[in-house]
């Protein structure tokens, strides 16, 4: 009784959906969404990107994963897919009650568990009800032949389903050894390492590459392992374990091995991409000119050995790297030219539109920035950072309503997005809705509840409600956790000023001024200094504040009024 329908003969139903992880990513929920999509094609068309990512059968003309250009998706992409799928299901909810049953919820793949949770929350206010059941009929036996496992591994990696990829790779490694089948063993080993790095388990991935280098001297494997080891040291290991010198050493080894590739074309392509790792390290070390030379020469080398239509995504990646280097060199015009070329090479990558939107925004091309953010969101799908950046642009242009809508979408996709939660609470504060602002902060996930920025915001809200003692305590907690949080020093100073302790306010504002070049700490310190009749010091703060760029008319008027008062008091002494 899955999709409950009414016929003239009465109710009819379908068998429950089986969510067992052995059936693969999105088991059960993919079949449910496919049924909905076939019944509601118009709604499905509005959510085509996320639905086709979850249910490839909805796009039979699309190439198989192994035939598509390589693009490694971020692990958080599945949360965006879940958001879009839940929005689609909510739009399809019928007026009559509809109950959907899912079996083996206790043994589901991580993609399924995430989507079921999102569906349950989103559909709570609709006639559609999700029922989760532990257990169910036995799942079919897991395929263990290396060829099928390799295909499943490649598919999961290409689609960004890293938990399933890791499980599949472990099964494959258990079925072969480097002595009996080196090629398959390496495929499963590097696939497992790739999945683990994406899941934040880079130290285990590092061990796998060390194992590969210990068991074989095959030049192709050791070359690939050397490059991957370098990238772990440069990017994926925890910050304390990253080692640029080790990364450079491993890249040099990979380049040395690439020199031995017999096929000239493959030799050039391999060397170019290993050199991009060197360029990354050079850029981070402040040698942007050297990085620019490496990327530019790499593009020229690829053009010499590849046809115009070959490896377009790879060339786009190099152009994207060069755009970042141009930005580091302070040349946004050249960065924009490269990003335009990037998008021409790879027009379906949301990341590139988000980056170009930032350039448009910095140059004051607001309309173009909005267009690129919209495209990034459509292709993403539902990229949280694009929603967040568009929200801040809405706010800058006086559109607080659309800004709130985008911030709510961010939090629906990623409840742990700290900046979005703080921004939404501040928008509610600005319109005087203290209840909404406080609820926004207090609904943060438990693991984020004690973040200094949230404590600071909650302290500000409580101070607006007149709970000054509680506000002081919250702001003190924020400062204990992050003594460099200028906003917390500024806000605690305001609380202490309201409690009549101007001297304590000045002490806090001394810290805020040391940390922040914003006008507010100096203006507030001048106000507290005037309360203490320290007119010359207050005048000095007000003079500096008046020289700051971007002051609105009201603040400039208040600063001048305060400065005139200081001068008048000084003259009477």
The string of pLDDT tens digits covering residues 252-275 is 999 999 999 999 999 999 999 999
Instruction: Return the beta strands (E) in 75-137 as ranges.
Output: 98-103, 128-132
Q: Of 418, 406, 408, 403, which Cα lies nearest the Cα of 377?
A: 406
Residue 227 has pLDDT above 90, yes or no: yes
| Residue 12, beta-bridge partner list | 5
Model confidence at 448, in pLDDT bands (50, 70, 90)?
very high
Count other C-beta atoms under 10 Å from residue 64's C-beta. 11
Tens digits of per-residue pLDDT, 158-194? 999 999 999 999 999 999 999 999 999 999 999 999 9
Residue 346 has pLDDT above 50, yes or no: yes
Distance CA 358, CA 374 (A): 13
Distance CA 482, CA 567 (A): 37
Q: Cα 298 to the chain's mean position, in Å?
A: 29
- Cα-based distances in Å from 38 to 31, 41, 42, 279, 425: 11, 6, 9, 48, 40
Residue 403 has pLDDT above 50, yes or no: yes
Distance CA 151, CA 3 (A): 32
Residue 1 has pLDDT above 70, yes or no: no
pLDDT computed for residue 309 by the predictor: 86
Mean confidence (pLDDT) of the chain: 92
Q: What is the pTM of this model?
A: 0.86
Distance CA 566, CA 319 (A): 56
Model confidence at 532, in pLDDT bands (50, 70, 90)?
very high
| Burial bucket for residue 1 (CB in 10 Å: 0-12, 13-18, 19+) | middle
Mean pLDDT of 189-215: 97
Distance CA 87, CA 47 (A): 9
* Architecture of the domain spanning 348-445: Alpha Horseshoe (1.25)
CATH class of the structural domain 450-516: mainly alpha
- Cα-based distances in Å from 538 to 439, 512, 557, 561: 38, 15, 16, 12
């Amino acid at each position: 009784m899955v999709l409950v329908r009414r016929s003239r003969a009465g109710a009819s139903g379908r068998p429950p959906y089986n969510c067992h992880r052995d059936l693969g990513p999105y088991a059960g929920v993919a079949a449910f969404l496919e049924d909905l999509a076939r019944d509601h094609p118009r709604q499905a068309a509005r959510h085509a990107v996320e639905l086709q990512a979850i249910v490839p059968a909805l796009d039979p003309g699309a190439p198989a994963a192994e035939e598509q250009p390589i693009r490694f998706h971020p692990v958080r992409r599945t949360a965006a897919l879940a958001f879009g799928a839940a929005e689609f299901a909510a739009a399809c909810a019928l007026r009559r009650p509809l109950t959907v049953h899912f079996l083996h919820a206790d043994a589901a793949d991580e993609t399924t568990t995430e989507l079921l949770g999102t569906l349950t929350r989103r559909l709570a206010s609709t006639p559609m009800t999700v029922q989760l059941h532990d257990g169910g009929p036995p799942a079919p036996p897991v395929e263990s032949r290396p060829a099928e496992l390799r295909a499943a591994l490649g598919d999961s990696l290409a689609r960004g389903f890293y938990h399933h990829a890791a499980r599949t790779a472990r099964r494959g490694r258990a079925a072969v050894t480097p002595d009996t089948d080196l090629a398959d063993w390496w495929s499963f080993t590097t696939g497992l390492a790739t999945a683990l790095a994406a899941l934040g388990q880079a130290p285990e991935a590092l061990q796998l590459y060390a194992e590969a280098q210990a068991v074989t001297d095959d030049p192709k494997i050791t070359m690939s392992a050397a490059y991957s080891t370098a990238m772990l040291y440069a990017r994926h290991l925890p910050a304390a374990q990253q080692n640029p010198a080790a990364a450079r050493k491993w890249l040099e080894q990979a380049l040395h091995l690439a020199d031995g590739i017999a096929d000239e074309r493959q030799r050039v392509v391999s060397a170019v991409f290993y050199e991009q790792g060197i360029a990354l390290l050079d850029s981070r070390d402040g040698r942007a000119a050297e990085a620019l030379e490496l990327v530019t020469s790499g593009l020229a080398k690829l053009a010499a050995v590849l046809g115009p239509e070959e490896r377009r995504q790879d060339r786009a990646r190099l152009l994207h790297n060069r755009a970042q280097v141009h930005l580091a060199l302070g040349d946004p015009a050249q960065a924009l030219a490269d990003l335009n070329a990037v998008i021409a090479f790879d027009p379906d990558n949301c990341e590139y539109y988000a980056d170009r939107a930032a350039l448009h925004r910095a140059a004051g091309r607001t309309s173009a920035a909005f267009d690129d953010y919209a495209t990034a969101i459509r292709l993403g799908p539902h990229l949280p950072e694009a929603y967040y950046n568009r929200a801040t642009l809405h706010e800058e242009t006086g559109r607080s309503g659309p800004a709130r809508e985008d911030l709510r979408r961010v939090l629906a996709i990623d409840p742990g997005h700290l900046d979005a939660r703080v921004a939404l609470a501040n928008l509610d504060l600005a319109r005087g809705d203290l209840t909404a602002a406080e609820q926004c902060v207090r609904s943060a996930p438990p693991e984020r509840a004690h973040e200094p920025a949230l404590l600071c915001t909650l302290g500000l809200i409580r101070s607006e409600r007149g709970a000054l003692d509680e506000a002081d305590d919250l702001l003190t907690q924020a400062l204990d956790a992050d003594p460099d949080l200028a906003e917390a020093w500024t806000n605690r100073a305001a609380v202490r000023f309201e409690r009549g302790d101007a001297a304590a306010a000045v002490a806090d504002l001394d810290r805020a001024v040391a940390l922040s070049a914003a006008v507010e700490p100096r203006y507030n310190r001048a106000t507290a200094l005037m309360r203490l009749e320290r007119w010359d010091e207050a005048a000095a703060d007000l003079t500096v504040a008046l020289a700051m760029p971007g002051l609105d008319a009201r603040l400039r008027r208040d600063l001048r009024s305060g400065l005139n008062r200081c001068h008048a008091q000084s003259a009477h002494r």
